[in-house]
Amino acid sequence: MKQYIVDAFTKEVFKGNPAAICLLDTWLPDETLQAIALENNLSETAFLVKADEGYQLRWFSLGGEIDLCGHATMAAAYVLVNFYESSDELIFHTMSGKLTVTHQAGRFEISFPSFALQEVPITEEMVAAIGCRPVTAYLGRDLLCVLDSAQAVVAVVPNQEKIEKLAGLLLHVTAKDNQYTCVSRTFAPKLNIAEDPVCGSGHCHIVPYWAQELQTNEITAYQASTRGGILYGTYAGERTKLAGYATLFAIAEIFI
What amino acid positions are annotated as catalytic residues?
44
Asked if residue 203 lies in contact with residue 17, where contact means CB atoms within 8 angstroms, the answer is: no
Distances (CA, A) of 87 to 12, 79, 106, 119, 226: 24, 12, 13, 41, 34
β-bridge pairing 229-236 and 218-223: antiparallel
- Determine how β-strand 171-176 pairs with β-strand 143-146: parallel
SS3 66: strand
* Cα gap 182→220, rounded to integer Å: 7
Q: Are 140 and 117 in contact (CB under 8 A)?
A: yes
Sign, Cα dihedral of 197, 202, 203, 204: positive
- Select from 184, 175, 169, 187 the least CA-distant residue to 136: 175
